[in-house]
A and B are shown apart, each in its own frame.
Chain A
Amino acid sequence: MTDTVETECTSPGADPVTKEAQLARWLRDRGSVLVGYSGGVDSTYLACVALQTLGPDRVLAVIGRSPSYPVEQWTTARDVAARLALPVLELDTTELDDPRYAVNPTNRCFFCKTTLWGRLVPVARARGLSVVVDGTNADDVRDHRPGALAAREHGVESPLALLGMTKSDIRDRSRALGLPTWAQPSSPCLASRIPYGSPVTADRLRRIEAAERALRDLGITGDLRVRDHGDLARIELPSQSFGHWYAAARRDQLSAAVRGAGYELAALDLSGFRSGSLNVLAGVRVE
């Protein structure tokens, strides 16, 4: 078994509108769905198309809450769901209680998703929903995604990836559908900011979240990550904004923001934001 998702795009050159029509057909064929919903770009789009295609009685979006899920994203998820009149269920997940997750191995996501899908699949069964789906997209399948194996083990399907919908396609269609998430930065869980092998704890997750919130409060927009190296917070910003934030007064603000969140030292990454940056540090991915 590998940790990848198969892609079955029947029309690889298809435009986003055509892919969306394929997605609607795919959903109609299933009849009803439970969507693993985070309020991120992908799962919001998937939930929206499912709602439009199947109606509110045949769609349930489920939010899995845990310390690795930022409060800000939770708020967004609830707001967007309310705006769409999307039926939502919220559950607390307990991945931090699993020592196999907490020690933070390179396949940490497998244990997190095992916990999540282990909660959601029984909910789908109990409510008579025919399939559980997630927002994995076609770009994701090229990255290190051990969580995909957990999805497969639980029979969770990834229609966006299956139909070849890329992040760009999803943003394009989200914008067309009027979803407020269309331009939202990608938002992986907070544990992704902790180097593999370094334990994931509720305190560390809270500190990361507080530091990123403080940096956002300074006016940082777009992709932002605070990588937690123990006493050191390594800040990744879009590389084009390095010069702006490295100006003398602003770098003091950056430093104060992360120190206020509990770090002893702040450092600004010279390469800027890199998705999966810690996969490179761990040697899981080579650049």
Chain B
Amino acid sequence: MCWRVCVSSDPGRDHMAEHLTAALEQLGLSCRVEARDGLAIMYPVSAADVRLADDDVRRQIVTLGRERGFTHVAIALGVGGG
């Protein structure tokens, strides 16, 4: 699986993104994460994961994001596989 974390100018936010990336990896979700304040943006590396259509999977992701300091999690559209 391919993972990378978007580089930003805020080490704290980078840290949050890295943690969320690692947590998403545990779910088997392949994407990179960019942190913008309290917003986490997921960028699918390959085809967007059909599992995101599942309410429980999205809830899990949002919970993982909140546990790592994000108030919002969104998936980028029209980039990579998204």
Interface positions of A (Cβ within 8 A of B): 195, 229, 232, 234-235, 239, 242-243, 246-248, 251-252, 254-256, 259, 265-271, 277, 280-281, 287
Contact = CB atoms under 8 A, between A and B. Distances in A.
B73 A269 contact: yes
A8 B55 CA distance: 40
Contacts of B52: 242, 246, 270
B42 to A, nearest CB: 8
Contacts of B58: 239, 242, 270-271
Interface residues of B, number: 23
B53 A271 contact: no
B77 A281 contact: no
A238 to B, nearest CB: 12
5 contacts: A232-B41, A246-B52, A251-B77, A265-B79, A268-B75
Contact of A229 (B39, B54, B73, B77): B39
A279 B45 CA distance: 31
Contact of B76 (A239, A252, A256, A266): A266
Q: Which among A229, A256, A270 has the highest number of chain B CB atoms within 10 Å?
A: A270
A259 B36 CA distance: 19
A281 B38 contact: yes
Nearest to B81: A248
B37 interface: yes
B77 A234 contact: no
Contacts of A268: 74-75, 77
B8 to A, nearest CB: 13
Contact of A281 (B39, B48, B54): B39
Contacts of A280: 38, 71-72
B72 to A, nearest CB: 6
Contacts of A269: 72-74
B78 A266 contact: yes
Contacts of B23: none
B71 A287 contact: yes
Given A242-B53, A246-B53, A271 B62 contact: yes
Contacts of A195: 37
B61 interface: yes
A266 B41 CA distance: 10
Given A229-B39, A234-B39, A281-B38, A271 B78 contact: no
Contacts of A259: 78
Given A229-B36, A239-B55, A243-B53, A248 B48 contact: yes
A242 B77 CA distance: 13
Contacts of B77: 235, 251-252, 254-255, 266-268
Nearest to B79: A265
A268 B39 CA distance: 12
Q: Which A-B residue pairs are the 8 nearest by beta carbons? A: A255-B78, A267-B74, A243-B53, A255-B77, A266-B77, A270-B58, A269-B74, A251-B77
Contact of A267 (B38, B53, B61, B76): B76
